[in-house]
């Protein structure tokens, strides 16, 4: 897949940071010695952790060098590591493992989530937020266009382009027997967007990437044109002329027994 683009990702930083802030607000810790931001991106979520726990050692991790460079410029006093969440292990058990909009890219949640939870220090907290928008028009249209020729031949198996996440209750059942407390919830954000193209720009920084990455310039341009046409139809103008983007997200906060 093509490299992550911090500038494109950060174009909608306020909207992307809102769920990160709301996730952190539900973390039941008065203080933390060590906090890890898994999949820190350009550092917007890491910045929230630093502000919440000013005395903690905070480490951000990501598998994208451009994202880490952007995060390091934003927070020069924070350690940022290049790592893959699928194989990540902490050097010291953290008080907080925080993953905002990152675990949906990592397969095998049946083993990943228990492993991350087990890595915590006693009394530590695993806090996870993931987009739950696979069935939204934005993502249905990605698959529908990707299944058509001439794009299908280059894109290949559509099911491999995004990891399937579990139902929210499954994460509760997975963690509750070992946890002191588990808090799960689901929020559907409603983001006013200036145009259908703005919605395409939003997903271009995330979900659309694996669909267009295998395409050459001409095929990518035609794919994007057909995708935009479908987004225009799926998100009609509202009374003020803007488009309303519904964006479901799931949240999981689990605290380990002390």
Average confidence score pLDDT of the chain = 94
Question: Going by C-beta distance under 8 Å and a sequence separation of 6 or more, which residues neighbour residue 61?
Answer: 36, 37, 38, 39, 40, 80, 81, 82, 83, 85, 88
Domain residue ranges in the chain: 6-256
- Residue 76: is its pLDDT beyond 60? yes
How high is the pLDDT of residue 7? 58
What the block records as the tokens of 29 is 């810790």
Quote the pTM value.
Answer: 0.91
Could you tell me the CATH superfamily of domain 6-256?
Vaccinia Virus protein VP39 (3.40.50.150)
pLDDT, residue 1, reads 46
The pLDDT value recorded for residue 6 is 58
pLDDT score for 5: 59
Q: Provide mean pLDDT across the span 46-57.
A: 97
Sign for the CA dihedral angle at 125, 130, 132, 134 comes to negative
Question: Could you read off the pLDDT of 12-21 as tens digits, one per residue?
Answer: 778 889 999 9
Each residue's pLDDT tens digit, 115-144: 999 999 999 999 999 999 999 999 999 999
Q: Are 58 and 78 within 8 A, CB to CB?
A: yes
pLDDT in tens, 175-224: 999 999 999 999 999 999 999 999 999 999 888 999 999 999 999 999 99
């Amino acid at each position: 897949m093509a490299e992550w683009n911090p500038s494109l990702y950060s174009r909608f930083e306020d909207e992307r940071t809102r769920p990160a802030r709301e996730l952190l607000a539900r973390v039941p810790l008065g203080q933390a010695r060590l906090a890890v931001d898994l999949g820190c991106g350009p550092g917007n979520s890491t910045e929230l952790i630093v502000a919440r726990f000013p005395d903690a050692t905070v480490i951000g991790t990501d598998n994208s060098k451009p994202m880490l460079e952007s995060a390091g410029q934003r927070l020069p006093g924070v350690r940022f590591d290049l790592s893959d969440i699928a194989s990540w292990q902490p050097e010291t058990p953290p008080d907080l493992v925080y993953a905002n909009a990152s675990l949906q890219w990592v397969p095998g949640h049946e083993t990943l989530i228990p492993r991350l939870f087990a890595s915590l220090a006693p009394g530590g907290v695993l806090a996870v937020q993931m987009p739950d928008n696979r069935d939204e028009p934005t993502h249905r249209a990605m698959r529908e266009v990707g299944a058509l020729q001439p794009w299908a031949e280059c894109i290949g198996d559509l099911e491999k382009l995004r990891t399937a996440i579990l139902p929210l209750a499954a994460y509760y059942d997975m963690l509750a027997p070992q946890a002191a407390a588990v808090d799960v919830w689901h929020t559907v954000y409603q983001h006013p967007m200036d145009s259908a193209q703005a919605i395409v720009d939003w997903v271009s920084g995330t979900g659309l990437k694996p669909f267009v990455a295998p395409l050459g310039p001409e095929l990518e341009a035609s794919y994007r044109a057909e995708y935009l046409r479908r987004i225009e139809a799926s998100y009609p103008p509202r009374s003020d002329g803007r488009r309303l983007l519904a964006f479901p997200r799931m949240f999981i906060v689990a605290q380990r027994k002390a």
